[in-house]
Structure 1
Amino acid sequence: MNSQAQLDMLAKIKNKNGFIAALDQSGGSTPKALAVYGIAESEYQNNEEMFTKVHEMRTRIITSPYFDGDRTLGAILFENTLDRDIAGQPSAKYLWNVKNIIPFLKVDKGLEPEKDGVQLMKPIANLAELLAKANTQNVFGTKMRSVIKQANAFGIEANIAQQFAVGKQILAAGLMPILEPELDIHCPEKAKAEVMLKESILQHLANLDEGVQIMLKLTLPDEANFYADLVKHPKVLKVVSLSGGYSQAEANFKLVQNNGVIASYSRALSQGLNAKQADSEFNSILNVSIENIYTASKS
């Protein structure tokens, strides 16, 4: 990556208001995302056609006049999107060159079966190759998701240890990792799990080299400002929140109670959008969503 572009992106994520759009639905979640968008599985015949449909959806969002760097800090892309163009430019380069939006890349390959109350990430066999590709495309950082389903201290520690281990490989490649140990909003002891999660993250942050920073993507906590010490931590560039199954209104309501945390929504961002809508209606709904999420992220 051009070092000046990387410095400009770093300054933007550190100093500007806004949120990060999660446009990174992968193979397993794409049919559901398309169905919500109004495209039935009968409208595509194979994976290639499916990914073309979802790229058209993402392109419509990204090229909307209301999707720009004034309110949207960054966007997380799926590898298939990285390999495709938008308006004649590679997708990640279009985001930065045209929209002034920081590109991130989802690098995980899905989840292992649940064990000890968590789902770890599957091995990322081609991580080095993927990071090299990201660097050629002016990608600033990466994102990877694992899931916590139970307040199991052993499982949560394994989850966070894995996130930090892979995060260090990403840092070594010159990219900014977003660690996403998602806490399932239906966890029966969610508040208890949040305590375990925060303690584990703080311990692993203490073991990072001085001057190193990572980003965190966390489920919104039950207690307001519960992650304040992570928001203020010198080794954390930014804490962002996932909507995690909450509606946009619910997620925004919880977000404003957590100072310094910004949104990184997927379903909550695209809520109400439909493939059959005229551009005027599509753009109007997207504009309202962006404004609401942007306002909640400024708290």
Structure 2
Amino acid sequence: MNENHFNRMKNDDGFVAALDQSGGSTPKALAAYGIKEDAYSNEEEMFDLVHELRTRIVTSPAFSSDKILGAILFEQTMDRKVEGKYTGDYLADKGIVPFIKIDKGLAEKENGVQMMKPMPELDELLRRSNERNMFGTKMRSVIHEPNEEGIKAVVDQQFEVAKHIINAGLVPIVEPEVDINSSDKEKCEEMLNEEILKHVNALSEDENIMLKLTIPTKANLYKELIEHPRVVRFVALSGGYSREEANEKLKENDGMIASFSRALVSDLNVDQTDEEFNKTLQEAVDSIYDASVNKK
């Protein structure tokens, strides 16, 4: 593990940028950027275009270590280069800690939740992640309903894979997202908090994780997790909230920082000049940083 990256993630001000849309979410990300599906004819061309977008983001002067602690990448982005360097190395040279999304998407809904699909090639991906100088990983499940059996299964699966990642020398971001449109979001979060605490309390002193959760309905619900010695950092996903709404909710939670995706890049457009693009990105970065560090 890179100790400099560990100390930066644990102690420094800033937030984590999520640039890890993949597979089925890539066309949506490109469409939001102003590139329609008729602009590419196959998956290779699609991923070339999304890498151009991500390259434009990470090379922007607005995307700097002054306010951005880390960035979560998609597997293909990790394996591609930015200005002649592998993306993780390019980010690290800017002082930004690189993470890799490792999950293969969501299974069908069962017991009110969506588990992660099987990851048969996980060992090979973790090996390459170390080779590409990733610091950590990210994996996502989704909770829709306050179903005790389902929530327990999601958390058990997340921590089973997290142990595997820790053994590979990486820091896992555990991400059991609670759907913001859940009919009983607060109850889901209370149950999730209890399940995660059981697992975190069982970690040994050399086992460290990060958590990425939906901003809770009840402010500071996750205070014990945020302050837990085994939790390197607690980051929040925007979950479909607008940037303004996500920022306001984030400010209510002490010690929680952002790890936004759509809320970070939603106003960027392929037709913007570099000056317009950089200005728009800077405004987003500034507002998310402010919500991450300036609490009410």
Coarse TM-score class (shorter-chain normalised): over 0.9
2:266 is matched by which residue type in structure 1?
Answer: Q
How far apart are residue 211 of structure 1 and its match? 3.5
Matched letter for residue 226 of structure 1:
L
In structure 2, the residue matched to 1:50 is: 46
The one-letter amino acid paired with 2:247 is N
| Deviation at residue 210 of structure 1 after TM alignment | 2.8
Moved over 4 A (4+): none
Residue type at the aligned position of 2:257: I
User: Residue 8 of structure 1 corresponds to which residue in structure 2?
Assistant: 4
1:206 matched to which residue of 2? 201
1:292 correspondence with 2:266: no
| Contact in 1 for aligned 2:114/2:143 (Cα 8 Å) | yes
Aligned equivalent of 1:255: 250
In the alignment, what sits opposite 1:191? 186
What is residue 62 of structure 1 aligned with on the other side? 58
1:177 aligns with 2:135: no
Among candidates 14, 25, 39, match of residue 35 of structure 2:
39
Alignment equivalent of 1:135, drawn from 130, 138, 142:
130
Number of residue pairs the alignment of both structures matches = 294
Secondary structure of 1:138's partner? coil
RMSD (Å) for aligned C-alpha atoms: 0.7
Deviations 1:223-279 (A, max 9, x none): 111111110111111110000000000000000000100000000000210001000
Q: Which amino acid aligns with 2:18?
A: A
Q: SS of the residue aligned with 1:34?
A: helix
Contact 2:139–2:173 under 8 Å retained in 1: yes
Residue 79 of structure 2 contacts residue 132 of structure 2 at CA under 8 Å; is this kept in 1? no
What is the match of residue 107 of structure 1? 102
Provide the rounded CA distance (Å) in 1 between the counterparts of 2:289 and 2:120: 36
**Superposition pairs for residues 144-293 of structure 1, below 5 Å?**
144-293=139-288
CA distance in 1, matches of 2:205, 2:64: 34
Distance 1:73 1:57 in 2: 20
Letter in 1 for 2:110: K
SS in 2 for 1:203: helix
Give, in whole Å, the separation in 2 of the partners of 1:23 and 1:205: 27
CA–CA distance in 1 between the matches of 2:56 and 2:172? 27
The two structures have a TM-score, normalised by structure 1, of 0.97
Contact 2:62 2:282 in 1 (8 A): yes
Structure 2: distance between partners of 1:228 and 1:33: 33
Question: Aligned partner of 1:136: which letter?
Answer: E
Contact 2:107 2:115 in 1 (8 A): yes
CA displacement 1:201-225 (0-9 Å, x = unmatched):
0111122223421100000001111
Question: Structure 2: how far apart are the matches of 1:16 and 1:238?
Answer: 10
Letter in 2 for 1:69: S
